Amino acid sequence: MARSNIGGWRYFVEGIAPGRAPDVPQDDFARTSLELHKREGMLLAVRARWFALAVIVVMLPIVNFRLEVIYYEMLLLLFALIG
């Protein structure tokens, strides 16, 4: 009868072979490098989101110049405030 390996998926996602999981040393340089790149990527994503919102705020009244656009401008302000 085949043995079910439910915990194997966790090892696959983490990049560790199931038989070697306890023996794998922790590489601090790689871990700090990945954390740094993740932080920089998140910062870049936030800046890109702010830039996109600013472009939409400027472009929206130009494309559709009506009083109803103020509602959408307030929604964009709300989106900018919540991040």
As a whole number, mean pLDDT of residues 51-78 equals 88
Residue 75 has pLDDT above 90, yes or no: no
User: Nearest 5°: CA angle at 75, between 69 and 70?
Assistant: 20
pLDDT score for 44: 95
Q: What is the pLDDT of residues 13-59, one digit of tens each?
A: 566 555 555 555 567 788 888 899 999 999 999 899 899 988 988 99
Rounded Cα distance between 4 and 13, Å, is 17
Query: For residues 78 and 66, is the Cβ–Cβ distance under 8 A?
Result: no
Query: For residues 80 and 53, is the Cβ–Cβ distance under 8 A?
Result: yes
Hey, where are the domains in the chain?
A: 43-83
- pTM higher than 0.85 for the full model? no
Burial of 19 (0-12, 13-18, 19+ CB in 10 A): exposed
